[in-house]
Structure 1
Amino acid sequence: MSTPTPARERILSAATRRFYAEGVRAVSADRLIADAEVSKVTFYRHFRSKDDLVVAYLERVAAAERAEVERHVAAEAPADVLRWYARFLGETTCSPGFRGCPFINAAAEHADPGHPARVAVDAHRRWLHGQASALVAALGAAEPDALAERLLMLRDGAMVAGYVGQAPDQVADALLAAGEAVVRAAIPSAA
């Protein structure tokens, strides 16, 4: 990974804004070079290709989410972390400028499972699944991986609901109710 520099940061910040708002494929390297006010040489010194920049963008988004989730995992009981995450998603998915999950969006734009963007998406997805599985295992789930997958499906649906225009409290309340129902069905003692 390149050493952080002001130019690299400007490129990555421009990419983060543009890729999320417009889509990865829709944004050209030339547009990012202009936005970051760098030369092509500087751009390619920091990112060998646009794909490298896409991966750096996804890793940046993943690192921010990981830090926030891990902060809650370290300080709260598993059920409280799951409730927090549902409320957090409700607020996030309905905020101005929300365009869906950056990882789902990137996966939709890159069909090849071997593409570097898909590899980054899959890594974050495995991490999310692992976090959810560990939380529900701590609650007593007999099949934590299967339950984690169901919760991730609810997460994905909440992100779509937020993107298409439901109010934040509706998304958060619906996700929380659905998540609690799924957990209670799998772990009756969690009621």
Structure 2
Amino acid sequence: MPTQARDRLLKTAEELFYAEGIQAVGVERLLVVSGVGRASFYRHFAGKDALVAAVLKRRGQHWLAWLETAVEGHGGGPLAVFDALADSAQRGAFHGCAFINAMAETADTHSEVYQLARAHKRRIAGYVEGLIKAAGHPRPEALAAEFVLLMDGATVTAMHERTGAPALRARSIAERLLA
């Protein structure tokens, strides 16, 4: 059963890693901001890498649940993923995709962090494929791969444009792919 200290560490790490980057945030800072002691940290996690992995697992579950709800809120069709991304990019605390960011910070493609990020991207592709298939479009697997490419590109572009406009441009391209 998770403890309050573990939950505080996960919440604090998720916020700081997303806002500032995994490499930029050290264990000392996590301990100070979370108010958790060093002994408690090591009781729950073998080290920072284990904490990063736990954060990504948690973030992946929360993000996919958010995406599913947001897509439903935008009508449930495959193009709604772009509307959801546009909404997300409008938030003041938007820093792109935590999983793209994690991959960019991880040199070792065999590391657990990199593999968790890849697995998350596969889950998103599977979800998008399901939306495309349910809408009756041919080639759902190929279209899902193209949609995810557009989603990732829109997310990265939104980081520097600071608006949801890239997701809406990607939606327009995706609409042509479905035609």
TM norm structure 1: 0.85
Kindly tell me: are residues 18 and 140 of structure 1, through their superposed partners in 2, closer, same or farther at Cα, counting changes over 3 Å?
same
1:91 maps to: 87
Give yes or no for the alignment of 1:128 onto 2:91: no
Superposed, 1:149-188 pairs within 5 Å as 149-168=145-164, 170-184=165-179
Please give the alpha-carbon distance, in whole angstroms, between the structure 2 residues aligned to 1:127 and 1:94: 24
Aligned residues: percent identity? Answer: 35
Please give the alpha-carbon distance, in whole angstroms, between the structure 2 residues aligned to 1:69 and 1:26: 28
Q: Single out whichever of 172-181 and 136-145 deviates more from structure 2.
A: 136-145
Measured after TM superposition, the shift of residue 62 of structure 1 is 0.9
Give yes or no for the alignment of 1:107 onto 2:97: no
Give yes or no for the alignment of 1:27 onto 2:18: no
Please give the alpha-carbon distance, in whole angstroms, between the structure 2 residues aligned to 1:56 and 1:68: 18
Measured after TM superposition, the shift of residue 71 of structure 1 is 4.3
SS in 1 for 2:32: helix
Please give the alpha-carbon distance, in whole angstroms, between the structure 2 residues aligned to 1:68 and 1:95: 14
Kindly tell me: are residues 72 and 96 of structure 1, through their superposed partners in 2, closer, same or farther at Cα, counting changes over 3 Å?
closer
State the Cα RMSD in Å.
2.1
Kindly tell me: are residues 91 and 131 of structure 1, through their superposed partners in 2, closer, same or farther at Cα, counting changes over 3 Å?
same
- List runs of 5+ in structure 2 lacking aligned partners: none
- List runs of 5+ in structure 1 lacking aligned partners: 185-191
Letter of the structure 2 residue corresponding to residue 12 of structure 1? L
Please give the alpha-carbon distance, in whole angstroms, between the structure 2 residues aligned to 1:70 and 1:118: 24
Measured after TM superposition, the shift of residue 152 of structure 1 is 0.4
Measured after TM superposition, the shift of residue 172 of structure 1 is 4.0
**Alignment: residue pair count:** 179
Please give the alpha-carbon distance, in whole angstroms, between the structure 2 residues aligned to 1:50 and 1:138: 41
2:7 maps to: 9
Q: 2:67, 2:84 within 8 Å by CA — same for their partners in 1?
A: no
Please give the alpha-carbon distance, in whole angstroms, between the structure 2 residues aligned to 1:28 and 1:18: 10
